[in-house]
């Protein structure tokens, strides 16, 4: 297994540890969670750069890299929902897009077609990761300084709502572009 694929597997392994750190109450658990999330997010950036630079792109990476991203970002949304920081509709929008695009990728793959992720998909993933990190970093301070939780929840939902909009745009663009290169009447 090459290094980019090992980084992808590491991201998959780190995801449940991240979720546990977010939801299990122990001293500094939010800081542990954000540290895990940042490391996992960096593996996403590194695996792609290394794979492209050293021509280490594999079928495993093409399939599992986006899956690992979805696992990590979905874990963050689920943690935020559990903590009252993410509306269920945002989670529904994001998951619906992810299921549709993944299904579309499988159809394309079965026809020997690889549809590359576009700029909108990358913006969606980056916004999810950056906003998730910002929210996680803010949680301990909100608790420590007794900041109004309803206001913080509103701010969190606005940030995650932006990612939901990018999710819809990127999903629609992916499917529109994909319909041009695959046979949908199979």
- Residue 152 neighbours by CB distance under 10 Å: 18
Q: Is 184 within a domain? A: no
User: Which DSSP letter does residue 103 get?
Assistant: H
Q: Is 72 within a domain? A: yes
Q: Is 116 within a domain? A: yes
* pLDDT at position 127: 93
Give me the CATH number covering residue 102: 1.20.120.1760
Q: Which helix (H) or strand (E) holds 177?
A: helix 149-179
Q: Is 169 within a domain? A: yes
Mean pLDDT of the chain: 91
Q: Is 102 within a domain? A: yes
pLDDT tens digit sequence for 52-63 = 899 988 888 878
Of 75-84, 103-112, 139-148, 163-172, give the lowest mean pLDDT range: 103-112
Q: How many domains does the chain have?
A: 1
Q: What is the pTM of this model?
A: 0.89
Q: How far apart are CA 92 and CA 90, in angstroms?
A: 5
Range of the structural domain that residue 167 is part of:
3-179
Q: Is 93 within a domain? A: yes
pLDDT tens digit sequence for 64-85 = 888 898 899 999 999 999 999 9
* pLDDT at position 186: 60
pLDDT tens digit sequence for 96-130 = 998 998 888 888 878 888 777 788 888 998 899 99
Q: Is 66 within a domain? A: yes
Q: Is 34 within a domain? A: yes
């Amino acid at each position: 297994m090459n290094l980019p694929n090992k980084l992808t597997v590491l991201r998959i392994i780190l995801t449940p540890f991240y979720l546990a750190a977010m939801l299990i109450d122990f001293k500094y658990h939010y800081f542990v969670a954000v540290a895990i999330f940042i490391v996992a997010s960096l593996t996403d950036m590194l695996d792609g750069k290394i794979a492209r630079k050293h021509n280490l792109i594999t079928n495993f990476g093409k399939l599992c890299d986006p899956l690992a991203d979805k696992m990590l970002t979905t874990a963050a949304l689920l943690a935020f929902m559990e903590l009252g920081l993410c509306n269920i509709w945002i989670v529904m929008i994001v998951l619906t897009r992810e299921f549709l695009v993944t299904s579309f990728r499988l159809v394309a793959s079965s026809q020997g077609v690889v549809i590359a992720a576009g700029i909108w998909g990358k913006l969606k993933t980056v916004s999810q990761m950056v906003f998730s990190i910002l929210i996680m970093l803010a949680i301990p301070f909100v608790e420590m300084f007794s900041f109004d939780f309803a206001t913080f929840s509103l701010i969190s939902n606005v940030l995650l709502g932006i990612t939901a909009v990018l999710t819809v745009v990127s999903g629609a663009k992916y499917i529109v572009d994909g319909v041009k290169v695959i046979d949908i009447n199979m």
